[in-house]
Structure 1
Amino acid sequence: MPDKDLRRQALAPGKTVSRKARERLSRQSSAANSTNNSPTGSTSNSRAPSRQPSDDEDSRSEGAYSYSSFDEYHGGVLDVGDAPAEDYSYSNLNNLIEELITRKGSTSAGRELCIARFANALQNGYRTAEVAPRLAEIQGSLLRSIKDGEVKEATLALKALTMTIITCPDNDAQIGMDKTLNNIITDSDSPLVKAAAIRTLSVQTFFGGSSEEGTMEMMEFLLEISESDGETVGALDDGKVVSAALQEWGFLATLLDEAEDITEVAMDTFVDQLESGDVSVQIAAGENIALLYEYSYTEQEEDEDLSSGEEDNDENDAIEDKTAPRMIKRYQVYRREDQLKDLLSSLANTSGRGVSKKDKKALHENFADFVNAVEYPYRGPRHSNAIDQESGQRLGSRLRIKNFGQYKVNKWWKMHRLNGLRRVLGSGWITHYEANDNISGCLHEK
């Protein structure tokens, strides 16, 4: 392929172009120049198409570009004109399950419609009574569609499988599923299928009772995808795949009690991806950086004295609730913190002509938060230093989930979990929050 075509392909919308990717392109360009002895024209960066944030509640509570419905990976194919999921009676949903399992004589279009209806039913309703008795059969049928179906059927089946896991996170029924999903991510020819499978595997790891060792292995797999710009799974510089890997790494990282041992390697990857040409990749990397900085501070122990080498937060400056525990810095997150702050600040003030208004707004809002996270890791997202006139305390986190007792998203781990749940549940996340203890519980307990 000619050098200019390589550059055009790598910088096309939807691609992630990190520093390492640009170095690869530069080497390819140099080789071509030495062979052809012809100059290469300059290349302008192009941004990935903007993702559509939800209108539901505060758009920042979804992490702007970091949050997007799982349905994005289907190109809207779930819009099948079907009745709302809540209209499915017990018997009707059981008939649908029977149709899903009985594949003999079915057509590709028929299976797609059946899987879409089933996924919608589980997304918008908590249906354990219907699903649990036939869980193994349902998962077997969906895995067959994932492995053998065309792109549309496979991505629909991945969504349906994700909803099934969230509905019935049965450990025994999921034995061996992670290996199957890993193979799909590695071997599929479709970046859409790869990205959707990353989401499903993350949910299976999170809710399926994976061991700490299994969770760490999954995170290493996702980090390898991110570090290689997707090359390790055959999706070089594909923005959807790389952003999915980054986002799900952050989602799974919230399961850890501490992150010191993995921080150095992970930070190198995330800082590198801040220079990507894909806004969703940049924001996902920034969110992970914020989470790792938050992990570096823990509460002061009752019998702990502060030594001269330790740093702590100023309770009069940072804590909105003055009765909250003091937070102590335990280790250094990144060795070149001044450079990191400069890079984050430059992204928070992006003003280039080649950046769309929506991309620019997303960068400004998110990276202002990330700068604050590096400077004050104990504050959490959307922290305000403004003083409440009545209490005399700082307002602190301004991020709330409406209609749920004004649940406060005042920690980065809460932000990651909220974003992760809403990515896969879409509009049905409120229903599951109210009815599914697995969903509501993970937002309140780390």
Structure 2
Amino acid sequence: MGRCRKGRRTARMDDLTDDDTMSIASTVSSSDYNNGPEVEGEFDESTLMDQYVEALYQKRASMREAGLKGLIDAFTSAVLTDFAEDQCETLANRFINSIKVGSGSEIAQGARALGLLAFTAGAGSSAQQILTDATPHLWKVARVGNSPAARSSCLETLGLLAFIGASDLGATEATMETLWSIVNHTHSSEDQKTGINFPPSSARVSALMAWSLLLSTVDPRRVSSSHLQSSVSVLSGLLKNEDLAVRTAAGESIALLYEMTNSLGSAEDVEDTVDDLVPPVSTSINPRVATGARATISEDEVVEQMKTLSVHAGGKGQPKKERAVQRSSFRELLAAIEDGVAPQVSVKLPAGNALKFNSWTEIIQLNVIRRFLGEGFQTHMQGNPLLHEIFDFVPQAEKRKTLSTKEKRMLQSPNSIVSKARTEVMNRRRQNSRVQKMGGFSANGHDSD
């Protein structure tokens, strides 16, 4: 995509003090943002979108959050490539500011908006710069934040920014190691020294999914047997977690690892592998694990765990529907490990388009991106060049809407609205014609000359 260009107001706004920004939207109250018109189709960049951007400069948190919400809705309801490129630097700076100074809700929205901006601007220098600027702030929240929603959102966005904007394998691996430290974090006396808060289940799931997303982009030849063993030992422990989402995310990561190593074929293919793609854990996080306290686990043990979860759903007080979902999911994961078979997934899109997936690499990319885009997934799949490149997808043109049988019958019926309107027009023409023949009056009702 094109180079990130500074928005029209960037220079002007960056020179303002906090007091100055209070007067920028003095004529617009917070209710104007909360109750503004819904953003659909074409956007008037000079009015509503500009108001959302202006709101990001306000001291009042509710105003900034309203602006973030408006921009998130806009970015999910349409592919605003030109707007994203034109305002890229301005928007990235303001979204990062919300992550730095906001409460939990604002941080979560700021992180999500940042990811949507990267998705819209596309791969290239824009995404690379966003990744560089945002990483330290996203990581700080993910590591020591108090809000589970904010931590989860920052971890998701961190993975997606690296997926889109990492310039080389080194940058990808650095982000993977960061995410892995959350995946593998356990309670330790070092927590108080490092200031790290124990990650809630939602944050661990986000870190796992983001880590797997980045792993799916790595050449399988770099995934050595030692890396597989160290990673699976950690993931196997997470299969015992009480949270279904944690168990499922861990199982999908294991399936991806086995798919990648099974694709190598023979020992000769792995001669040039790198053993330290993702270290089991950073020594700065938990020295006990790094020194080998965690026991290794065999493939047979992993298979047995999968078999148990495919038959008996764990978790305290788990609803019957969730237990059924888990059994189905782990039967698919078990097939991937034992037989190397991935489930067949098909996604219907507008205009008769469809996406088909038959590998865990593709399925994990689909799941993470679809989860992040939410309601905007269909729109971006149809019109976003970045997603077309990721999924090797060329959308068909939108089909013209054809009339239904009922609509055709209404048009043909003598009692239809169209038929009545046509009759009224013909009657007026006949009346005007008679008046003109009489010569007494014109069609306008005035005396003729």
TM-score by length of 2: 0.66
For 1:343, the equivalent position in structure 2 comes to: 305
2:104 is aligned to 151
Specify the alignment match of 1:234 in structure 2.
196
Greater helix fraction, Structure 1 or Structure 2: 2
For residue 36 of structure 1, what is the aligned residue in structure 2?
none
Partners of 2:248 and 2:172 in 1: CA distance: 23
> For the Cα contact (< 8 Å) 1:158–1:196, is it kept in 2?
yes
Q: CA deviation at 1:122?
A: 0.7
Q: Residues 76-106 of structure 1, C-alpha deviation per residue, up to 9 Å, x if partnerless? A: xx998861443633434542354145x24x4
Aligned twin of 1:183: 140
Per the TM alignment, residue 230 of structure 1 is displaced from its structure 2 partner at its CA by 8.0
Supply the distance in 1 between the matched residues of 2:336 and 2:257 (Cα, whole angstroms).
10
- Select 1:376's aligned residue among 325, 339, 347: 339
Are the structure 2 counterparts of residues 402 and 98 from structure 1 closer, same or farther at C-alpha, using a change threshold of 3 Å?
A: closer
Give the structure 2 partner of residue 314 of structure 1: none
C-alpha contact 2:183 2:207 (8 A) present in aligned 1: yes
Range with bigger deviation, 403-412 or 276-285: 403-412
Q: Does 1:406 align with 2:350?
A: no
Say whether residues 1:133 and 2:86 are aligned partners. Answer: yes
Change (3 A) 1:230 1:167: farther
Do 1:100 and 1:138's aligned partners in 2 also have CA atoms closer than 8 Å? no
Equivalent residues in 2 for 1:250-329 (5 A)?
A: 250-258=212-220, 259-260=223-224, 262-298=227-263
Q: Are the structure 2 counterparts of residues 79 and 440 from structure 1 closer, same or farther at C-alpha, using a change threshold of 3 Å?
A: farther
Question: Is 2:95 the partner of 1:142?
Answer: yes
Judge which range, 416-425 or 160-169, deviates more.
160-169
Distance in 2 between the 1:163 and 1:82 partners?
A: 21
Looking at both structures, which has the greater relative contact order when contacts are Cα pairs under 8 Å and sequence separation is at least 6? 1
Given that 2:179 and 2:211 are in contact with CA atoms closer than 8 Å, whether structure 1 keeps it comes out as: yes
Pairing partner for 1:355 from 296, 301, 318 = 318
* 2:178 is aligned with 1:221: yes
- CA distance, structure 2, for counterparts of residue 79 and residue 246 of structure 1: 34
Cα deviation, 1:231-262, whole Å, max 9, x if unaligned, reads: 76734251101111111111111110112253
CA distance in 2: counterparts of 1:114 and 1:242, whole angstroms: 29
Q: How does 1:27-46 map to 2 (within 5 A)?
A: none
Partner of 2:431: none
Q: Percent identity of the aligned residues?
A: 23
5+ residue gaps, structure 2: 1-32, 270-295, 394-449
Q: Give matches, 1:431-442, under 5 Å.
A: 431-442=379-390
Change (3 A) 1:408 1:163: same
Cα distance in 2 for partners of 1:156, 1:168 equals 18
Residue number in structure 1 paired with 2:24: none
Partner Cα separation in structure 2 for residue 264 and residue 339 of structure 1: 12
Aligned to 2:119: 166
Residue 153 of structure 1 and its aligned partner are, at CA, apart by 1.4
Q: Which has the larger radius of gyration?
A: 2
Cα gap change, 1:193/1:98 in structure 2, threshold over 3 Å: closer, same or farther?
A: closer
| Number of the residue aligned with 1:248 | 210
Question: Measured at CA, do residues 111 and 237 of structure 1 come closer, stay the same or move farther in structure 2, by a change above 3 Å?
Answer: closer
Contact kept in structure 1, 2:235 and 2:250, CA below 8 Å = yes
Secondary structure (helix, strand or coil) at the match of 1:444 reads coil
2:263 counterpart SS class: strand
The one-letter code sitting in structure 2 at the alignment partner of 1:418 is L
Tell me what 2:165 maps to. Answer: 208
Counterparts of 1:346 and 1:429 in 2: how far apart (Å)?
34
Correspondence 1:419 to 2:367: yes
TM-score, normalising length: structure 1:
0.66
| Residue ranges of structure 1 left out of the alignment (5+ in a row) | 1-77, 306-333, 382-396
Whether the 8 Å CA contact 2:306–2:333 is kept in 1: the answer is: yes
3-state SS of paired residue (2:78): coil
Q: Which of 83, 103, 109 pairs up with 2:62?
A: 109
Alignment partners' CA distance in 1, 2:114 and 2:392: 25
Counterpart for residue 123 of structure 1:
76
Q: Could you list the per-position Cα deviations for residues 339-371 of structure 1 after superposition, in whole angstroms to 9, with x for gaps in the alignment?
A: 211111111112568431122012111101011
Letter in 1 for 2:318: V
Secondary structure of 2:41 counterpart: helix
Post-superposition offset of 1:432: 0.9
Shift of 1:268: 0.9
Alpha-carbon shift at residue 174 of structure 1 (Å): 4.1
Runs of 4+ in 1 over 6 A off after TM superposition: 78-81, 230-233
- The residue number in structure 2 matching 1:309 is none
Task: Give the conservation status (yes or no) of the 8 Å contact 1:225–1:245.
Answer: yes
